[in-house]
Structure 1
Amino acid sequence: MCSPLSRRGFLAAGSGLAAAAAIPAVSGCSSLASADSDPGTLVVHTQLGTTAPGSATYTAVVKEFHRENPGLRVKNLVNGDDLAQVYETSRLARKEPDVVMVNLYDKTLAWTDVGATVDVRDHLDDWGLRERVLPAALAEWTDGKGRLRAFPYFAANWPVAYNTALLERAGVDSVPTTGDQLIGAARKLRAKGIAPVTVGGNDWTGQKLLAQIIQTFLTPQEARGVYSTGDFSGRGAREGIDYFVALRDAGVFADKAQGLTSDTMTTQYNTEAAAVQSAMSSALAKVPPKTAGHTEVGGWPLAPGAAHDKPTILRSFTLIGFWISPNGVKKLPAVETFVRFMYRPEVVSRFITESGRDMALVTDTVSKEFPLVAKAQQLGGRVGQALLPDLYVPPAATQPLITATSTAFTRGTSAASVRSALESAYRTA
Structure 2
Amino acid sequence: MRSSLNRRGFMSAGAALAAGVAAPALSGCGVMGGDDSDPDTLVLHSQLGGTAPGAATFRAVLDTFRKENPGLKVKVLINGDELGQVYETARLARKEADVVMVSLYDKTVEWTELGATVPVGGYLDQWGLRERILPKALTEWTDEKNRLRALPYIASNWPVAFNRDVMRKAGVDEIPRSGDELIAAAKKLRAKGTAPVTIGGNDWTGQKLLAQIIQSFVTAEQTKSLYRTGDFGALSGVRDGVQYFVELRDAGVFTDKAQGLTTDSMTTQFNTGAAAMESAMSSALGKVPDNVARHTDVGGFPLPTGAVHPKPTILRTFTVNGFWISPNGTKKIETVEKFVRFMYRKDVVARFVTEGARDMAVKTETLSDGFPLVAKAQQLGDSVSQVVLPDLYVPPSAVQPMIQATSTAFTPGTSANRIISALQGAYRNA
Matches within 5 A, 1:307-386: 307-386=308-387
Aligned to 2:402: 401
1:60 aligned to 2:60? Answer: yes
Q: Are the counterparts in 1 of residues 133 and 152 from structure 2 also a CA contact under 8 Å?
A: yes
Name the aligned partner's letter for residue 55 of structure 1: A
Name the aligned partner's letter for residue 21 of structure 1: A
Aligned to 2:160: 160
Name the aligned partner's letter for residue 61 of structure 2: V
Question: Structure 2 vs 1, CA of residues 274 and 184 (structure 1 numbering), >3 Å: closer, same or farther?
Answer: same
Aligned to 1:23: 17
- Separation in structure 1 between the aligned mates of residue 270 and residue 14 of structure 2, nearest angstrom: 50
Q: Are the counterparts in 2 of residues 154 and 358 from structure 1 also a CA contact under 8 Å?
A: yes
- Separation in structure 2 between the aligned mates of residue 9 and residue 338 of structure 1, nearest angstrom: 34
Name the aligned partner's letter for residue 406 of structure 2: T
Question: Structure 2 vs 1, CA of residues 416 and 353 (structure 1 numbering), >3 Å: closer, same or farther?
Answer: same
- Separation in structure 2 between the aligned mates of residue 28 and residue 360 of structure 1, nearest angstrom: 34
- Separation in structure 1 between the aligned mates of residue 32 and residue 161 of structure 2, nearest angstrom: 39
1:272 aligned to 2:273? Answer: yes
- Please list the CA deviations of residues 313-354 of structure 1 after superposition, one character each: whole Å capped at 9, or x if unmatched: 000000000000000000100000000000000000000000
Q: Secondary structure at the match of 2:84?
A: helix
1:134 aligned to 2:129? Answer: no
How far did residue 8 of structure 1 move? 3.3
How far did residue 40 of structure 1 move? 1.0
How far did residue 71 of structure 1 move? 0.6
Q: Are the counterparts in 2 of residues 22 and 92 from structure 1 also a CA contact under 8 Å?
A: no
- Separation in structure 2 between the aligned mates of residue 78 and residue 331 of structure 1, nearest angstrom: 21
- Which deviates more, 20-29 or 214-223? 20-29
Q: Are the counterparts in 2 of residues 33 and 77 from structure 1 also a CA contact under 8 Å?
A: no
Q: Show structure 1 runs of 4+ deviating over 2 A.
A: 4-10, 18-34
How far did residue 9 of structure 1 move? 3.5
TM-score with structure 1 length normalisation?
A: 0.96
Aligned to 2:125: 125
- Please list the CA deviations of residues 183-214 of structure 1 after superposition, one character each: whole Å capped at 9, or x if unmatched: 00000000000000000000000000000000
Q: Are the counterparts in 1 of residues 183 and 248 from structure 2 also a CA contact under 8 Å?
A: yes
Q: Are the counterparts in 1 of residues 4 and 397 from structure 2 also a CA contact under 8 Å?
A: no
- Please list the CA deviations of residues 217-251 of structure 1 after superposition, one character each: whole Å capped at 9, or x if unmatched: 00100111111100111101000000000000000
Q: Are the counterparts in 1 of residues 5 and 88 from structure 2 also a CA contact under 8 Å?
A: no
- Separation in structure 2 between the aligned mates of residue 246 and residue 218 of structure 1, nearest angstrom: 17
Q: Are the counterparts in 2 of residues 98 and 328 from structure 1 also a CA contact under 8 Å?
A: yes
- Separation in structure 2 between the aligned mates of residue 74 and residue 103 of structure 1, nearest angstrom: 21
Q: Are the counterparts in 1 of residues 13 and 89 from structure 2 also a CA contact under 8 Å?
A: no
How far did residue 23 of structure 1 move? 2.8
Q: Are the counterparts in 2 of residues 46 and 101 from structure 1 also a CA contact under 8 Å?
A: yes
Q: Secondary structure at the match of 1:239?
A: helix
Aligned to 1:177: 177
Q: Are the counterparts in 1 of residues 151 and 324 from structure 2 also a CA contact under 8 Å?
A: yes
1:416 aligned to 2:417? Answer: yes
- Please list the CA deviations of residues 264-311 of structure 1 after superposition, one character each: whole Å capped at 9, or x if unmatched: 000100000000000000000000111000101000000011010100
Q: Are the counterparts in 2 of residues 7 and 110 from structure 1 also a CA contact under 8 Å?
A: no
Q: Are the counterparts in 1 of residues 138 and 148 from structure 2 also a CA contact under 8 Å?
A: yes
Question: Structure 2 vs 1, CA of residues 9 and 52 (structure 1 numbering), >3 Å: closer, same or farther?
Answer: farther
Gaps of 5+ in 1: none
- Please list the CA deviations of residues 145-174 of structure 1 after superposition, one character each: whole Å capped at 9, or x if unmatched: 111011100000000000011111110110
> Root-mean-square deviation (CA), in Å?
1.3
- Separation in structure 2 between the aligned mates of residue 254 and residue 76 of structure 1, nearest angstrom: 39
1:78 aligned to 2:73? Answer: no
Aligned to 2:45: 45
- Separation in structure 2 between the aligned mates of residue 27 and residue 126 of structure 1, nearest angstrom: 39
Q: Secondary structure at the match of 1:369?
A: coil
- Separation in structure 1 between the aligned mates of residue 190 and residue 306 of structure 2, nearest angstrom: 28
Question: Structure 2 vs 1, CA of residues 20 and 212 (structure 1 numbering), >3 Å: closer, same or farther?
Answer: closer
- Separation in structure 2 between the aligned mates of residue 232 and residue 19 of structure 1, nearest angstrom: 34
Name the aligned partner's letter for residue 15 of structure 2: A
Q: Are the counterparts in 2 of residues 50 and 80 from structure 1 also a CA contact under 8 Å?
A: no
- Separation in structure 2 between the aligned mates of residue 211 and residue 221 of structure 1, nearest angstrom: 14
How far did residue 21 of structure 1 move? 2.7
How far did residue 391 of structure 1 move? 0.3
Q: Percent identity?
A: 65
- Separation in structure 2 between the aligned mates of residue 89 and residue 315 of structure 1, nearest angstrom: 31
- Please list the CA deviations of residues 71-129 of structure 1 after superposition, one character each: whole Å capped at 9, or x if unmatched: 11110001111111100000011110000000000000010000000000000000001
Q: Are the counterparts in 2 of residues 50 and 79 from structure 1 also a CA contact under 8 Å?
A: no
Aligned to 2:32: 33
Question: Structure 2 vs 1, CA of residues 20 and 6 (structure 1 numbering), >3 Å: closer, same or farther?
Answer: closer
Aligned to 1:186: 186
Q: Secondary structure at the match of 2:355?
A: helix
Matches within 5 A, 1:228-307: 228-233=228-233, 234-307=235-308
Matches within 5 A, 1:79-118: 79-118=79-118
Q: Secondary structure at the match of 2:157?
A: strand
Name the aligned partner's letter for residue 27 of structure 1: A
Question: Structure 2 vs 1, CA of residues 19 and 257 (structure 1 numbering), >3 Å: closer, same or farther?
Answer: closer
How far did residue 410 of structure 1 move? 0.3
Gaps of 5+ in 2: none
- Separation in structure 2 between the aligned mates of residue 157 and residue 22 of structure 1, nearest angstrom: 41
Aligned to 1:149: 149
- Separation in structure 1 between the aligned mates of residue 178 and residue 122 of structure 2, nearest angstrom: 47
